[in-house]
Each structure stands twice: as C-alpha cells, then as structure tokens.
C-alpha cells in the first residue's frame, strides 16, 4: 500500500506533492477543498504496484509537502500562494504535482512552469471546456482556467481530451484552434507525436470520468470515460517529458461510498509513475 503521509518533504525527491484546498469559485456544488486530504486517506488502501505500467511507486522519489494554507475569499491571494509554492519546486529542481481543489489552481502552476519552459505544452483531461472569457463577469474562475492558460501558452500549444460540455462559443474556439482530441488509439498516437520532446504540463480534472464511476465531483457530466480509457491514455503518455501536473475537482463528500476518492488516489499513483518514467 502507499500513503502520502509516510513521505517527508525533507527527503531527497524528484516530485513534490502539494495540496491546494481551494474551491472559492465553485459554481455548482462546492467541496473540492476537501479533495487533497481525501486522496491522501484513500492512498493508504492502494497498492504501490501498477500492473499496467509494470512499475512500482517504491522506486519513485516523491515527497508530500502537505496542504497550503490558503485564505478564504481571496482568490488572487490564493493564486499567489500557489504560484510561490510551484516556484519553489522549480528552484529546487523538482516537479510540482498539485492536488486540488478546483481547476483554477492549475493557472498559477502553469504560469510558473511556463516561465521556466517557454516551449511548454498543456494537456487537459476534463468534462468541461473551461474556455469561457469570463463567468458572470469573473475572469479568474474554474470555468475560465483553460482560456487564461491558452492566452498564456498559445492555443496551438493546448490539447483537450474528454470534453463534453461547453458553450457554443467555446466549441467554436476549440474547433478553430484544433485543441480538441479524443482517447481513440490513433488520436493518442497523434497526441504523443504532437508533444514530441517538448515539456508537458498535464492537468486532470477528475470529472472527465463518467459519474457512474466517479460521482464525487462538483459538476458531473454524463458520457465520461471509465478507468480503462484513462489507463490507455496514461500508457500512451509514458516517456513524455512531464514537468508539472495536477489532479483536481474531487469533492469527496458527494460520494459517501468513498469510491471516488479511491479512484482519484489510483489516478495519482499512475500519474506519479509516468512522471518519474519521463
């Protein structure tokens, strides 16, 4: 079994896990601020060995920095604290791995990583486009996070998988820039070819999964993927140069069975393994 709480940040490590318990712009059902602790708790019941990746977490040098202390009601302050934590990772030459929290936490992480890697590409798994210019007049919202990121790194440097919800304008934008792709085998091969040897930031909004297997999220969308589709994606990404990543939008209290937290923890395991392999 693996347990994040057994890992001390003072130990030598290549990947640093950082909890970002923030859901201040949640527009439907809040609760993703409880995600990081739920993933940690569930991790204790997950094996370290991944049979699909033929790899074991025992060989991965990662550490858990715990949760950031984030001020409630101050979105810009929250983003600044996250940015500082990711900056510190890059100064220490370790890969930041954020546990959300809502999807807006990805923005300051990408800003920091992009500053170090100007040829960065961003791969997003999500049910939602998150490409709005603003949401109810607010530009710093979970619903706008990929628009802000696309403006930063360039739409041509973004790929989005699993999207099944968005406005007409968002779909026009994504189709126009060619950011949309799928989990089909040919598309995954094309995705990896597109990435090439460029550095990758991987952001996984866990609502990419179908609510039937992942009900514990704030904005569930029917028609999502199941575990084996995610596993096929992960295997395709082995060997890519992942320099930053996150897993966001687990709201554990919305799934009293605890299964969503377990699935999230297993996703984190697989993501740690391919990051180390990269």
18: enclosing H helix or E strand: strand 15-20
Rounded CA gap, 208 and 249, in Å? Answer: 10
Q: 87 a known binding residue?
A: no
Q: 126 a known binding residue?
A: yes
120: enclosing H helix or E strand: none
State the pLDDT at residue 31.
86
Give strand pairing partners of 102.
none
State the pLDDT at residue 140.
79
CA distances from 107 to 103, 171, 201, 224, 246 (A): 8, 21, 11, 24, 11
How does strand 121-125 pair with strand 158-161? parallel
Could you tell me the residue ranges of all domains in the chain?
A: 4-277
pTM higher than 0.85: yes
Q: 103 a known binding residue?
A: yes
Rounded CA gap, 82 and 243, in Å? Answer: 16
State the pLDDT at residue 230.
98
Q: 142 a known binding residue?
A: no
Residues in the chain, pLDDT under 70: 1-10, 138, 277-278
Long-range contacts of 72-77 (CB under 8 A, 24+ apart): 72/24, 73/24, 74/24, 75/24, 75/25, 75/104, 75/140, 76/140
> What is the CATH number assigned to the segment(s) 4-277?
3.40.800.10
How does strand 199-205 pair with strand 241-248? parallel
State the pLDDT at residue 4.
58
pLDDT in tens, 58-78: 999 999 999 999 998 899 999
Q: 207 a known binding residue?
A: yes
SS3 sequence, 36-54?
HHHHHHHHCCECCEECCCC
């Amino acid at each position: 079994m693996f347990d994040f709480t057994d890992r001390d940040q003072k130990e030598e490590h290549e990947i640093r896990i950082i909890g970002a318990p923030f859901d201040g712009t949640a527009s439907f059902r809040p609760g993703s601020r409880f995600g990081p602790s739920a993933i940690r708790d569930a991790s204790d019941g997950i094996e370290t060995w991944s049979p699909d990746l033929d790899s074991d977490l025992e060989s991965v040098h990662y550490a858990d920095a715990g949760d950031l202390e984030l001020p409630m009601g101050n979105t810009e302050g929250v983003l600044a604290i996250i940015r500082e934590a990711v900056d510190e990772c890059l100064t220490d030459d370790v890969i930041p791995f954020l546990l959300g929290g809502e999807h807006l936490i990805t923005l300051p992480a990408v800003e920091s990583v992009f500053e170090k890697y100007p040829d960065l590409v961003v791969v997003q798994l999500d049910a939602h486009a998150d490409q709005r210019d603003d949401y109810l007049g607010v530009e710093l919202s979970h619903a706008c996070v990929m628009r802000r990121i696309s403006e930063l790194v360039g739409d041509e440097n973004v790929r989005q998988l699993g999207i099944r919800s968005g406005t007409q304008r968002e779909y026009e934008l994504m189709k126009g820039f060619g950011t949309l792709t799928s989990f089909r085998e040919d598309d995954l091969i094309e995705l990896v070819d597109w990435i090439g040897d460029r550095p990758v930031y991987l952001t996984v909004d866990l609502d990419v999964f179908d609510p039937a297997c992942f009900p514990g999220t704030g904005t569930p969308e029917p028609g999502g993927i199941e575990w084996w589709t995610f596993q096929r994606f992960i295997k395709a990404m082995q060997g890519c140069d992942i320099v930053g990543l996150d897993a966001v939008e687990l709201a554990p209290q919305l799934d009293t069975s605890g299964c969503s937290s377990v699935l999230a923890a297993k996703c984190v395991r697989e993501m740690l393994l391919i990051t180390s392999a990269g």
